Amino acid sequence: MALPMFSLAGKVALVTGSSRGLGFGMAQGLADAGAHVVLNGRDAASIDIRVRELQSRGLAVSSAVFDVTDTGAARAAIDGIVDAHGGLHILVANAGTHHARPLADWTLEDWRRVMAANLDACFALAQHAAAPMVRQCDGRIVFTTSLTGLLGRPTIHAYAASKAALAGLTRTLAAELAPHGVTCNAIAPGYFETELSARLRQDRDMVARITARIPVGRWGVPDDLAGLAVFLASPASSYITGQQIVVDGGMGSVLF
């Protein structure tokens, strides 16, 4: 790296939900900055493709296949990473799920499934990952929240609520872990071109309305998060904690 303050050389990072989309964009950025990145997903075949892709570029990557909602498997994976690499310095808790239905069609099972993936799993991952970070007095926890945790949108009740709650968790973890050399921040993406938004992007009128509200004139792509993920994981952000940084092309900052 041209600037040592942004170097992640010698650091070990776990990025959940990194076989595709925003997770892969951030994982790739961390690996480019010098970290050994552990890619995570539920499908071993998909993860293996990504591992080989990054290894072919000479980057240090490996995999940990588990479902983030399986707390036992998640904790075992973190323990395995620490044993294999001597520590864990960066956790990007990105994996999540989505559900959109009119209010009357929602069930408590729908609500709990979204909360389990988007909030409960992030808490459990952060709790377990914090232990080695505190021991080494060096750690970065980054959550993926959402612009919809700040601005409402119909039908996505549990998704928006989970992301807003995750922003609160970011602040409480920051307050507790900062004296131990561990920071906690959140990245709140706006509208991005990913598989999660594929169905929404089939509605051309909706896409046009959303794009018209984005000052930069386009939806985000996963690589747009790479630089911020590197910054929040690096020594350059050592005095920044408890923050939620919105990456939305300016959409949430303007009225029209």
Neighbouring-strand partners of residue 63 = 39
CA 77 distance to own-chain centroid: 17
Catalytic residue among 24, 66, 143, 159: 159
Query: Residue 232's CB: how many other CB atoms inside 10 A?
Result: 24
Alpha-carbon distance 61 to 23, whole Å? 14
Altogether, the residues listed in the chain come to a count of 256
Alpha-carbon distance 185 to 213, whole Å? 26
239 given a catalytic annotation: no
Alpha-carbon distance 152 to 169, whole Å? 19
pTM of the complete model: 0.95
- If you write DSSP's letter for every residue of 189-216 in order, what string do you get? E-SB-SGGGTTGGG-HHHHHHHHHT-TT
C-alpha dist (Å) from residue 62 to 54, 188, 215, 225, 255: 10, 26, 38, 21, 44
Q: What is the pLDDT of residues 38-72, one digit of tens each?
A: 999 999 999 999 999 999 999 999 999 999 999 99
Alpha-carbon distance 28 to 95, whole Å? 15
Residue 2 confidence class, pLDDT cut points 50, 70, 90: low
| Tokens (6 digits) for 149 | 């945790």
Q: What is the pLDDT of residues 206-234, one digit of tens each?
A: 888 899 999 999 999 999 999 999 999 99
